[in-house]
Every structure is written in structure tokens, then in C-alpha cells.
Amino acid sequence: MKVPFDPDLRPRAHFTARCNWINDPNGLVFADGEYHLFFQHNAEGMVPERASWGHAVGTDLLSWTELSVAIPATDTEYALSGSVVVDRENASGLGTTGQPPMVALYTSLDPVTKIQSQSVAFSTDRGRTWTRYAANPVLDIGSTEFRDPKIIRTGDSWVMAVVMADRWKVRFYRSADLLHWDQVSEFGPLGSVDGVWECPDVVKVPIEGTSEAAWVLLLSVQSGGPAGGSGMQYVVGTFDGTRFDATGEARWLDYGADFYAAVSYTDAPGDAPIIQGWMSNWDYATAVPGGDFRGSMTLPRRLSLRPGEYGLRLVQRPIVAAADPIFRTDDLPVDGRLELPCVGIAMRLTAVFEPGEAQRVGVEVRVGPGERTRIVVDRAAQTVALDRTASGIVDVHPTFPAVHTAPLTDTELVRLDVYVDVASVEVLAADGAVALTAQVFPSPDSTGLAVFAEGGVARLRELIVTPL
């Protein structure tokens, strides 16, 4: 039975709006010591209607202060996804003396004709208030499937990546002033074309163990993901400032059901890009339990690339606050299922197994009467799976109670990094090269933790639990 999600039980470490609906992150940018998280927001209800840009700021990607709606919906224009840059040289002419503007490129949706075009809004007060550009839209091809501009600075110009959603193409446009755009190239189709493409991004990612980097194209696929419904894929390639060419095949970024629309923070400190996504799935996003809010963001994740037998693979490392362990055990034999004296609803756990004779090893989180979420490593199948069939409220959609599976080739020494919050589980395996993200809705009383080994005795070399 579906029940309202207690509004007091918000995620501890994942961003949610004060109230009402949110989906895709927008305009992620670091400016003047602040991270800005904009997001798709219906400020008037719990379903994705009348899209506005909500806005939050923070200094560490961990704690956020929600501000006023940045770009509100109007009766003639809904503000769909896009990006924000700081126009430091005021090439747009939208700034004031001594104050370079923050410029947002976003998709305007005409609620009557459904035409999608690209428009500009700008701010000269550190993003606190926003003004729509008087000559909007700045790019209009008369399409109903033309959206989600991401702006990249290349040399002395700006490049926009924007999708032709139902044609599975990314178009690249170039501009000197963020207001006038010329098409320079096109990429696609490649990889999954089961659902429309959305939310493109092109990021330069460092290669582990080297001083080199490679370009990665991020794409969201509205249906046909690896766990059903929405998903994200990535492609490694080259980018010369105008054209992206793939050098590898398209791969899934996350094998769970609830990682979508992730894009990078523009101008974030450091060489490694930081991405953040929406933690949901369009198959059931409007049906998940909700109180006074619905929807959350994933943890931010820092990216790198790892060379291997099958080329460069994307590695993700969630960003969380440092904390002292609340539980630790070492060198523990495991034969069957073993409940541990550790409880919590918001925690990070790192488990290192030496499987030995066991065929399957793993952990169970949010354990309670009749409830558990299982992370299972199967050595014979060479997989890691996230099982939410008994995770609590599961009747939100026919596909919700499922086991989501990812390939895991090295199972001789297994490390699992699991991030558990009030309504979610994010699993990283293979030292960050394999990811599984899922929403779960257990009872607040389901706070237990267990480890298990099946088919033989395993050894738990290390288990460290810290609060989120």
C-alpha cells in the first residue's frame, strides 16, 4: 500500500527542495566561492508541470541554502533544462561596470505550440536575481525536441551542446557573445536509441596514473536504461572545440534505475569534473511516496578515467563529509548471514570481502521486519546486483521491485562502497568503476545492517561504517 512519505524523514545527505516537485539539475556552476545548484522545479505542485528553475547555493557540495526561484514559469514560457556560465569578459554586454554577469542558457517551452528554443537569462548580483534577455529566444529551429543546452568555454569562444532529442543527435553551436549562435558540427546516433536523448555534457576527464586526460560525452536516455526506464550513457572521445568524435563505444554510467540527467559543475576547482544527477526514473517519478516534497539529487561525484583491457572506463567517487567511524570490524569469517550491531538510516559503509569458497557475498542495509535492500556479488555470474524487491514500499510501479545488475569482472577481492540515506542506496564497486543507484522507501524502523556469504565461508577483511 502506498503511504505518504513523512516530511520529517528527508534525506540527510541528498538535496531536496523545501517543497514540491524537482527533477533535473540545471546550471551547475562554481562562482565567487559558491556552488550553485539550479534545478527543474514546479513551485506550485508535486508533479512536473510549469517548469521553473529552482536555486540553491553552498560552499562545499554538502550543505545547501535554497534561494528564491531563479527563472519562474510564465503562462507563455516554461523554463526547461540548461546551463550557467560566468561571462568574465562581459562579451554578452549584459554585465555592469566591474560585475561580470552570470548567464543562463535554458530551453524555453511554449506550453501551447510545444516548440522548444534556447533562451538567455542573466544575473549581476551573484545569482540572487535573474532577468530574461529582451531578445529571447537566441536560437530557434522550430522544433519540439530541441533542448538542454550545455555551454563549454573553448579558447576565445563558447560552444553549446544541445540535443535533437528524437533524432539521437547532439548539435554543437559556437558563439563569441553567448547571444548569437552558429552550428559547427553534429554527433550521433551512437549507443542507446531506445528513448529520446537529453542533457548532453562534454567534460575533460583526467586518466588515472598519468598526466593525460580525455574528453567524455555524457548523455541521458529517457527510456531503455539498463535497469528499465531512464538511464545515462557516456562515450570517450576527442573534442577540438567544435567537434566531438568517439574513440570508444557507448557505456552505461550507472546500472541502477535512479541516476539521470547528471551534468558537471562549470568552473569547479580541480582537474577532475564533478557531476550531480537527479535520483529518479521517468517510469515512476510521479508515483514515488511524497509528503511536502518529491524528488532529490544524487550525491555529487568526482570523475576520472581508468585504462584497462577494454579501453578507458569512467570512475566515480561520491563526495561526502569526512566523519569518524561509528562501527568497524576486521578479519571476520562469514558463513551464511550475520547481523551486525550497527544501526542507522544515513551512513556510508565500506566492505572488503575475500570470498574464499563462497559463491556469493554481500551486504544488506536498512534491515527491518520484512524489509532489506541487498547488494550481492555473484562470482560465477561476475556481477554485482542491487536488490530492492523487499526494500519497503515497492508498489509504486510494476518495475520498481526489481534486481538491478552490473558486470563485475574481478571478484577475487571485492570492495563495496555503499552510501545509504533515508530513501536511497548508491553502490560503487570495482573501486568506483561500477555504479548502481536506487531509491528505496523502507520503514523508519528498518535500521539494521547485515553481511552474508553463500555457498561457502568468506572472510570480511574490513568493514567501516561512518555517518552521512
Nearest 10 degrees: Cα torsion 119, 125, 128, 130: -20
Cβ pair 172, 161 in contact under 8 A: yes
Report d(CA 94, CA 122) in Å as an integer: 7
Torsion over CA: 57, 178, 275, 441 (sign): positive
List b or e across 166-193, with b for residues whose CB sees 16 or more CB atoms inside 10 angstroms. ebbbbbbbbbebbbebeeebebbebbbe
Assign 166 to helix, strand or coil. helix
d(CA 409, CA 99): 52
Active site residue 166: no
Strand order in the sheet with 301-306: 260-264, 274-278, 301-306, 313-318
Instruction: Outline where DSSP puts E strands in 165-296.
Output: 169-175, 182-187, 197-206, 213-221, 231-239, 244-246, 251-252, 260-264, 274-278, 293-294
CB 266 within 8 Å of CB 28: yes
- Side chain identity at residue 35, one-letter code: Y
Determine which one of 6, 24, 431, 445 is catalytic.
Answer: 24
CA atoms 136, 142, 145, 149: torsion sign? negative
Compute the distance between CA of residue 108 and CA of residue 161 in angstroms, rounded to an integer.
16
Region for 44 from its dihedrals, namely left if φ exceeds 0, alpha if ψ lies in -120 to 50, beta otherwise? alpha
**Residue 45 CA from chain centroid, whole number:** 23
Q: ω into residue 355 within 30 of 0, thus cis? A: no
| Eight-class DSSP state of 165 | G
Instruction: Output DSSP code: residue 99.
Output: B
- Alpha carbon 32 to chain centroid distance? 24
**Active-site amino acid positions:** 24
